[in-house]
Structure 1
Amino acid sequence: MNILITGVGGPAGKALVNQLSTTMHSVVGVDMQTVVPTQVDSFELVPPASDPAMVEHLSRIISKYGIDLVIPTVADELVQIAHASSVGAFDPATVVLSEESAVHNCFDKFLTMIALRQAGVSVPPFGLPSDFRSAGEVFATLGPHIITKPRVARGGRGFAVHSDPETFDLSGFDDSFLIQSFAPGEEFAPMVYLGDEVGDETVALVRKQRDNVCDSSAVVIQPVPVSEALDVAMLAVRACRALKLSGPIDLDVRRMADGRPVVLEVNARFGANSEFAPEILQRVLCSYV
């Protein structure tokens, strides 16, 4: 099978390429920067997701290499690729991505929180800056520690923790930001493969911890048996079902102070930790071979 991986220079792309290097599949990697992983069979430059020509360029590459399966890994491109796929721009290749409306809801963190809250899935208390009249009201509503983050951004870009109403400048944030209660407990990155039928799920968990031994801010990733955090795994599946997602999904879950897990973020794609859960990629390959 000929497989195209987008964003092969990024963490998620590299993780997939490393796994596919042990298979018989032919891998074509694309990226907006010249990065040529040794494990790919071919590499092509593509425009950034912000360029309207990106989809057409990708379509030409798919045709050139006779691609059977497209696995996008870059958050910024998912909405465009989902739309293009829905109108047949990449046919006859299959794109490993959820439906366009579901991808759109995951792309905007505020829409994600709204959809999950409406479905009864646990999320931290949250709001938009315009929901509050003052910094004091923010902290009175959301708690002693809050976070601000862009509604649309990759990873932790623009993320900040605030603990002092006196120094928090509410006027410095418009409604392109989300304000949320800070969840201080254990952090997990569930990885899910969701089939079409309820009960057809594969879930893997990793725990994300700060490396205090080396006195650094590095994050240590530790695989965790699902049985050790079953509530986290079940919450992840409920969130994915509520958002009407399918295929591979990467989430961020933390525990509140009372131990209750809450969903912080949902990404409709493979994440950087997929090498810790090869069963997720295996589900994808088995679904399309």
Structure 2
Amino acid sequence: MHNMRQIIPILLAACGVAASVGNARAGDASTWSEDTRSAMRLIAGRNAKDVPQLRAGIEIKMKPGWHTYWRYPGDAGVPPRFDFAGSTNVKVAKVLYPAPQVHSDSGGQSLGYSDSVIFPVAVTPKDPGKPATLRVKVDYAVCEKLCVPAEGNAEVTLSAGDSAQDSALQAAEARVPKKVAAADLSLTARRVDGGAKPLVMVELAPPDGGPVQIFAEGPTPEWALPIPQPAPGAPAGRQQFSFALDGLPSGVDPKGPFDLTFTVVKGERAYEVTTRLD
């Protein structure tokens, strides 16, 4: 009995330590909001005290063989939708998108992420001196051979301090395309014919050479441009891609001037360029 009396306080103390550690780590991430084929949660990054922006991320994991979508899904798919209503001490929550991968199937080519993805979130608090509680509802789709809708709800409190999730969030942030000027990539875009759906030729000098992928977006989310395909005939040291001006919103003149945004992906690095098509 004497030994048991000694053991019980030790066990209770050990449980207290374990609970303390568990609570500390739980503060870095919400619980998983699970669906049949996927789950999502919020994670907190490492944040300094009294900074104008706090770092967070929306993590989605999927069963093997399933994928979800980028902000522009390509030939088919549904982009994710994020609703931060109900957040506390949050002025702005801006979702950032890591560079996507191309998925090809019988329905065409789509843009998104396999297995898992973290969407970084830049959070501007109303009062930088106080913690911010981020609450989000995410409507998204996951696809294998068929696409099914999914929904997740999560919340996490952001404040100054370290985070066990920071390395994963940093890796996702590094995959967000860096905004650069068209001149930095020597990127040009021009129409090469005058058809009803003019062909656009994009030419660029990839950083450090080597093959790249590019994706095209219009001025608003209503645009659904084809994925540019490699085109022959580029001068030495440059690459060419072409796509038809298809998928424009009703009433838009395909021969008129407008801004196009190109995401250029080379390995683990990605760039975002907005240029005028006159």
Name the TM-score, length of structure 2 as normaliser.
Answer: 0.25
Structure with bigger helix share is 1
Structure with bigger strand share is 2
